[in-house]
Structure 1
Amino acid sequence: MYHVVIGVDDNEERAMACARAVADLPGDASETRVTVIHSFTDNPSGASASQLASVREATDFLEAEGFDVEVNESSGDPADQLLEAARETDANLIVVGGRKRSPTGKALFGSVTQSVILNAERPVMVAGDAA
């Protein structure tokens, strides 16, 4: 069975871009397992990943497309958590959402997507985002 790990933040458009990219992969959905992971960097309300609109929308879409979907949550650096989840589950592919940022913005604030691409031990797909 093919296994895809999707990193989802709070942005619903990026989450859906990732979900649509997975749905567009070749092969039958019933032969692909998807793990949607959200890493909390700050969670004062104690919410679970499944309560986030971005996670719910991506999960609902993928399940409607026939994928077996699991939701995982973690806390800490999102890139590190996503890479660790991919290693632990021996994922075949990591999918992350991209967004347009200036070079200065990347240097000042870092980039989860960039960190995942540079440190992944497996293929990474970046799903585009208009924002």
Structure 2
Amino acid sequence: MYEIVAGIDKSEDRGRAIAESITEMPLDHGEVRVTLLHDFQDNPEGASVDQVASVRHARKILEEVGIEVVLEESSGEPADAILRLADEQDAEMIVVAGRKRTPTGKVLFGSVTQSVILGTDRPVLVCSGDEN
């Protein structure tokens, strides 16, 4: 089984980009398992991962082509959660969607994508998921 960990935020566009990029990879879909991880940084109502629209849409796209999907949730720092889960599952690949930010914006607000890339030896697929 080819294990992929995908970090999904609230953006439906980025969630769709991640799912579509995975479906376009030259893999036997029946031999792929994707864990969609959503990190709740602020969750006062106690929502669960399957209530997040971007996760539901990504799951639907993946399952329609026969890819097995597992949902995971965490709270805290998204990059740390993605890296920890990838290690726990011994994932072959991590998939995230980047956002266009200026260098100053990255310094001020951080970058989950950058932290994931720099924090692992695993292959990282970065999808373009900016809203236009």
Please indicate the TM-score interval, normalised by the length of the shorter structure. over 0.9
State the AA in 2 paired with 1:100.
K
Q: Which structure 2 residue ranges, 5 or more long, are not aligned?
A: none
Q: Secondary structure at the match of 2:43?
A: coil
Q: Secondary structure at the match of 2:129?
A: coil
Q: Deviations over 1:28-68 (max 9, x none)?
A: 10011110000111100110011000000000110011100
CA contact (8 A) 2:34 2:70 kept: yes
State the AA in 1 paired with 2:42.
D
Q: Deviations over 1:72-123 (max 9, x none)?
A: 0011100000000000000000000011001110000000000000101211
- Structure 1 distance, partners of 2:125, 2:16, is 14
State the AA in 1 paired with 2:128.
G
| Structure-2-length-normalised TM-score | 0.97
Residue 130 of structure 1 deviates from its aligned partner by: 3.1
User: Is 1:48 the equivalent of 2:85?
Assistant: no
Residue 129 of structure 1 deviates from its aligned partner by: 1.9
- Structure 2 distance, partners of 1:45, 1:8, is 19
- Structure 2 distance, partners of 1:46, 1:103, is 34
CA contact (8 A) 2:40 2:74 kept: yes
Match of 1:6 in 2: 6
Match of 2:68 in 1: 68
Match of 2:27 in 1: 27
User: Is 1:123 the equivalent of 2:123?
Assistant: yes
CA RMSD of aligned residues (A): 0.7
CA contact (8 A) 2:15 2:129 kept: no
Q: Secondary structure at the match of 1:38?
A: strand
User: Is 1:37 the equivalent of 2:37?
Assistant: yes
Identical-residue share of aligned pairs (%): 54
Q: Which structure 1 residue ranges, 5 or more long, are not aligned?
A: none
State the AA in 2 paired with 1:90.
D
| Structure-1-length-normalised TM-score | 0.98
